[in-house]
Structure 1
Amino acid sequence: MSLRSHSESHDQLHTLREALDQERDRNACLTRELGQLREQVREAERYRFLFETMEEGFCIIQFIAGADGRWVDYHHLMANPAYCRHAGLPDVVGRTLREVIPDEADIWLERFGHVARTGEPIYFEHELYATNRYLGLAAIRVEPAEHHQVAVIFRDVTARKRAEMALQVLNTQLEQRIEQALAERKVFADLIDASVACVQVVDRQMRWQAINAATRVEFQRIFAFQPEIVAPLSVEFAAATDDCQRSLALWRRALAGEAFMTIEAFGQGDGRRHYEMRFAPLLGSGDDPLGAYLFAYDVTERIEEQQRLAHAEHALRQAQKMEAVGQLTGGVAHDFNNLLGGILGALDLAGQRLQQQRHDAVPPLLGNAQDAAQRAASLVHRLLAFSRQQTLLPEPTAVTALVDGMRDLIARSVGPHIEVYCQSDDDLWTVRIDPPQLESALLNLCINARDAIVASGTVSITCHNVALDEHQAAPLDLSPGQYVRISVSDTGRGMDPQVLARAVDPFFTTKPLGQGTGLGLSMIFGFVRQSGGQIKIDSILGQGTCVNLYLPRHHSAAPRMPAPIDAAIPVPSAQAARHVVVVEDEVAMRVVIGEVLEDLGHQAQMYENGPQVLAALQASTAPDLLISDVGLPGGLNGRQVAGALRLRYPGLKVLFVTGYDETAALRDGALEEGMSVLTKPFSLKQLATRVNRMLQD
C-alpha cells in the first residue's frame, strides 16, 4: 500500500472516530433529554392526578374578543371532574360560557374579565342560578397576560350559604318576635298597670317582684305605705294588725303551692272594702316553684248588693209567711174560739158543781179545760214558729214527724170542705233542711191546692224514699243517689202547659189581684235548690196538680222529740229555802208563779215591772234567782232588768218567761251563762223542774 493510501485511510479513521464521538455525545444528550422528558411526564402525571382528584372544582378559561375588540365570551380550555360535582354543569371543556349558561353569561364575564384585565385576584360567593347552587370562587390571571386566560378554583357552599340564610331569616324572625314580645309585654304591662285589679307577684323569699298602680293606691289607703320592688313582705307587714297578719297567712298558702280564691275585707270604718282575691303559685318551665301571684278585685259593691238582695229575699220570705198566716186567720180564729168556748164552759160547769157540792164531777171538767188549753197553746206555738223572722240553720229532720205535727194546721188552713190525707214510708229517711222553711213550703203548697179546688176535693201529702240512678237523676238536674220525695197533690183544676212552664217564675200568679204575690212556688223552688234538692211539678188541666220535692238523704238520725212533761203538782224541794225575785206584769201569772215557789219551799218577792224591782232591791242582799217576763211595762224589758241586777249581783241566775217564742229573749243578744228561757204557757211541773235545776247548778 502506498503512503498516500495509508494517509487517506488514517484520515478516514479519524473522521469516523469523530463521527462516533459526536454520535455518542448526541446519544448522551438525547438520553439526558429523555430523562428530563420522562421526569416532566411524571410531574405532569402528578399534576394530572392532582387535577383529576382534587376536591375543589378547577378550570382555565380563555376570553374571546368580538369585532370591536371587547370580550364577548370565553372558552373552557380545561376543567376537572370536581367542576361538574360542584357546579352541576357537565362536559364544559371546549364549550363557551354562552353555550353553557347563556342567561348568566354577562355576570360571569364581568367578574372574570376584571381579573384578566387587571391581574388582581378575587374571591367571592355567588349563586349559579342555572343549577340553584351557591359557589365560593377564587380567580387569578394566567400569565402571560396576552393569552387572556384566567384560572378559577371553586367549591359548592350551598349548604353553608343556605344555613347562613336560614340563620339570617331566623335571626330576623327572632328579632321580630322579640320586638313583638316586647311590644306585647309593654301593652300587657300597661294594661295591668292601668287595671282596676290589684296585681302582685312575690318570689319564694316573699319579696315583691311586681306591683301595679292599683295595688300601690290600695296599700296606701289600707296600710298607709306603698310596697316597693324587692321589699320583703315580712318587714312591711310587721305591724300586728289583723289585716297584716291575714295578708301574710294568705301569701304563705300560695307559696306552699295552693291555688285558691277567697273574699276578704280590709280597712277600717267607712273605708273598709271587700276584695275577691285569687292566689296561685308561680311555676317555672320545669314546674319548679318561683313564687306566687295575686289578682285582687274590689267587690264591695257586689257584696253590698248581695247583702241587700239577701235582706230583700228575707223580707219577701217573711211577707210570704205572713200572707199564709193571714189566710190562716179565719180557720185559726174559728178553732181558737172553739177551744176557748170549751175552756170557759168547763170552768163555768166546774164552778156550778162546786156550788152544788158535786165535787166528784169537778176533776173531769178541769181535765177537759186543761186539754183544750194545751191544744190552744200548741196552736199558738205552731203559729209563732211558722211566722218568726230569724233564719234557722239546716238540721237533721224527721219529715214524718214534721208532717204529722202540721196536720191540724193544714186541715184548718184548707177548710172543712177539703179532706187532707198524709202517708209516709215506715222507715222514711232523714233529711237535712231548715224545718220552718219546709213547714212554710208545705203550708203554701196546701193553700195553693185549696185555691185550685173549686168546691170540695182532697189534698194528699205523701213521703217516700227513692233511689235515683243516672237516667232518672239527669232530667231533674240532680246527682244519682238517695232522696226523700215529698209529694203534695190535689184534685183541683190543674194547669195548662203554658202556665205550668212559668209556675216557679217570681211574681207569676194566676190568682186575682190582691190574693197572691206570685212568690210562693219561686221561694219553695229556691229553698229546695239551696237544700241540694229539686222540685218537679206535674199537672193536667181539669184533673189536678202534683208538686214533688226531692230532698237528699242525710245519713244521721234526726233528734228525738222531748218527752212530754208530767203536769202533776210539784212537790216541795228538799233543798234549803232560796230567795227568788219574780217580775211579772200579769197578775194571774204572778200569783201562779208565787204559789209554785211557795209550794217548793222558797221565799218569793213579787214585782210588777223593772223600776219597782230595781228600787226595792237597792239595799237588799243578792237573791238566788230572778224570774222575769221578757216583755214588761215601765220602760225596761226583762233583758234590761236582768242586766242591771247582774251588774249589781254578778253571777245572778235568771229564768226568762215569755208568751212569744223562745227567740224573743235573744233579740238583745245571746243568752249568757246562768240564763234560761221558758215559754208560756207552761205546766206547774215544768216551772218547778226548771227552778229546781237552776238552783241546783
Structure 2
Amino acid sequence: MSVRPSPEHSCLAGGGEAGERLRAIDWSGTSLGPLGGWPLSLQSAVRIVLGSAFPMMLHWGPDLVTIYNDAYAPSLGRKHPGNLGRPAREWWSEMWDQLTPIFDQVLAGKPYLVEDARYTPDRDGMPREAFFTHCHSPLWDDEGRIAGIFLVVTETTGRVLAERDLTRLNASLEEQVAAVQASETRLRESEQRLDALIRSSSEVRFSTSADWSELHQLAGGGFIPDTTAANANWLDEYIPAEDRVAVRAEIARAIRTKSDYSLEHRVNRVDGTVGWALSRAVPLLDPAGAVTGWLGAASDVTDRRRAEAALQSLNATLAEQVQQRTQERNGLWEVSRDLFMVTDGNGVILSVNPAWTTVLGWEEYEFIGRTTEWLEHPDDQVRTREQVAHLAGGQATLAFENRFRSKDGDYVHLSWTAVPSDGLLYCSARDVTERGRQAGLLLQAEDALRQSQKMEAVGQLTGGVAHDFNNLLTVIKSSTDLLKRPDLAEERRVRYIAAISDTVDRAAKLTGQLLAFARRQALRPEVFDAAVSVRAIADMVGTLTGARISVRQQLSDEPCFINADPSQFDTALVNMAVNARDAMEGEGELIISVQPAEGMPAVRAHAAVPGAFVRVSIQDTGSGIAPDKLGRIFEPFFTTKEVGQGTGLGLSQVYGFAKQSGGEIIVESEVGTGTTFTLYLPRAVASRARVRPEDDAPVTDGGGACVLVVEDNRDVGTFVTQTLGELGYQTHWVLNAKAGLDALARDPEAHDVVFSDVIMPGMNGVELGREIARLYPRLPVVLTSGYSHVLAEEADHGFELLQKPYSVEALSRVLSRAMRRRRDG
C-alpha cells in the first residue's frame, strides 16, 4: 500500500489555484497511479511547472495526462479547470489532428519548436483562430525512457492580429495617397513618382508598454539602433529634442482615444545622423477594452524628405526645364520610330520620345522619374543593371538586347545603343521582336533537321546490327547443322564446336561495342593509373600493329589516376591502335602518350571544361582523315575500310566509353600527315592498385555446395542448373526474386551462394541482392546479365557481375571467388 505524501512535501505543493486543484484529484483512478508511486522524474517536472510564472504544461504516460500551471490557464478559456489531470486527447479533441504529428515527433526524441502557429481551439464554446509560439521537449522517466512531453508556450494571437491590422492600415493609407495623387496635376504626378523612386523604406518593428513608458523591443533593420531589453529612456535616445513634444502629444492622443498612433518625425539613426521616420502603432486591447500594449512599425522616409527639398528647388527652375525638354523632342526626336531616352547616371529616366508610347503603349509621364526595372523581363534585369553600371562608368554599350513589357502584357525585344556624356546617359533602342520571331522559326527548322539526322543514324545502326548478327548466326547455324550429321569425324566435331564458341565471343564483343556506343554498357569502374595500364598492354599493341610499325610510349612520371572500367579502357586503346595501324597500312610510327591535363578543350559545340583530367593520346603517321569525313568517324557502322575489313564500331566504342566515363574524345587529322586521337578522362584521387580477377584460374569442383539459382528464363535456368551439376554443385532453382526470398526464409543455412539474373519481372536482381545483403549479410550474391538498364545507370551496385554469354570456366571462377569470400568472412 502506497503512502500519499503530505501536501506540503509532495510535488504538488504550492502552485496556486492549479496546485490546489491538482492536489484534490484522486490520482489512483488515472493512468499515472497514486501520487506516492510517481517516478522522481515526473515529480521534478511537476515541481518545475507549478513553480514557474511562465505558461507551462506537461503530458505524461500512455494517455498523456495533462498538468499545467496558473500562468497557462488563461489561454484555455472554458476548458479550465476541468481539464487538469485528463488525457490530452479528451480536451483538445478539436485540434487532435494538428497535435498528433507534434506529439509523435517529441515522443520519438526530437524537440519541436514553432513560432506563431495557427490553431482553432474551442475555449469559449466555439472554435476560434489563435496563434501560439510553443516548444515541446521530451521528458524521460527514471529508467531513461521517453515518458512524457514538456511544453512552454506563449500565445501570440494579439501580435499576429495586430500586424494584420497594421497591414490593412498600410493598404488603406496607400489607397488614400493614390486618391490624392489622382487629383493632382501631371507635374504633381511626376513628383510623386519621383518620390516613390527615391524613397527607400527601412521597416522597423517595435512594441511598447500600455502607457509608452517602456520600449520593450525594437528591430531597427540597420536604420535605428536595435534594442532587445526594456528601455525606459527610449524617447531621449531615439527622438531628437525638437520633435519630442510632438511625439508625446501624439502618444497622449492615441492613449486617450485608444486609436492608431501615426506621426512623421525626426529620429537618431544608426550611423549617428538624424533621419526621418513615419511611425505607426496599433493598440492591443484586453477583453475589457483596456490597452495592454502597442505594436508598431516605422519606415525610413529620410530620402523622401530630402527629395522633397530637392523638388522644391527644382520647381524654382521648372520653366527652364520645360523649355529644355521641348527642344530635345524637336525634329527627329518626335518622328523617329526608334526609342530615344535620356537618364541620369543611375538610370532614372529624365525624358523619352513619343516612340515609347507607340511601341510599348505606356504614356510618357509613366516613364519619367523611374528606372526601367518595372518594364524589364525578370530574366534580363541582372544583365540590364550591369549595362547601366558600365555606362555610368564611362563605357559605351553596343547592340545590347533585352525585353520590355508593353501595356498589353506582351514583351517587346529591344536592341540598345547607349553612350554616357556629362553625367547623363543617352540611349537608343530598336524594336527587334520580329527578327527574334524569325530566329525562333530558324531554330525550329534546325531542330527538325537534327531529328531527321537522328532517324537516319538509327536506320544505319539497325541495318548494320542486322548484317553483322546474321553473319554470326549463319556460322552458328551451319556449325550446329554439321554437328548433327552421323559419323562425324572427331577432328571436324572439335572444329565446329570451336567455330561456335569463337562466334559467340565475337557476338558478345559486337554487343559490347553497341552498348558502349549507346553508353549503356554496365561499367565496373575502378581507380587505376592510366600510365600503368598502357604500359601493361604495350606488348599486345606491338603484336597488333606488326613489326614494321614502331610503337613509342610517352608516359608521365606523375601518377595519372582515373576512375573507369579498366577492361573498357583497354578495349578503347586497342581499338584506337588498330585504327591507327590500318591508316598506316602496316608501316609507320605510333606514339602513345599519357599526361595530366588542366582542363578539357572545347569540342563539338561543347564549351571548354576546367578541372583535373588525364589526357591519353594515340598519334599515327598514316594517311589522315578527309575533312568531309572527320565529323562522321564516331558514327556506328561508318567505316572507310574495304568491305569485310571492319564493322565501323571500334571508334564508336571509344566514343561511348569516353562519354559514359565523364570524358571526351577529340580527333585532329591532316591528310597525308597523320591523325591524333586524344581521350580526356577526369582525374581521380590516388587509390590502391586494382587487382584483376583470376582469368586463368582452373575450373574447380563445387564440393557439393548449394547454389540458389534465380532465373526467370526456363531454357537458361535448365542450362545453368545442369552446368552447375557438372561442376559439382547442388542447385535450387526458382523463377523470381520473391520465390528466392521465400526459399531463404524457409532455410537460409541450406544455401551457400545466390546466382541471380538481373532483369526479372517484379523485383530485379540488384534489388534482390540488396535485400539478401540486409537479411543475410554473410551470404554471397553473384549477378548475371546480358544487358540491363539498371546496371548501366548504376554501375556501382556492389555485387560481382558475370556478363552473358559466359563460359563454364568463367562461371566456375566467379562462384569459387564468392565461396572463398564467405569462408574468409
TM-score range, shorter chain: 0.3 to 0.5
Structure 1 length-normalised TM: 0.35
Task: Point out the structure with the larger helix share.
Answer: 1
Higher Rg of the two aligned structures: 1
Structure 2 length-normalised TM: 0.31
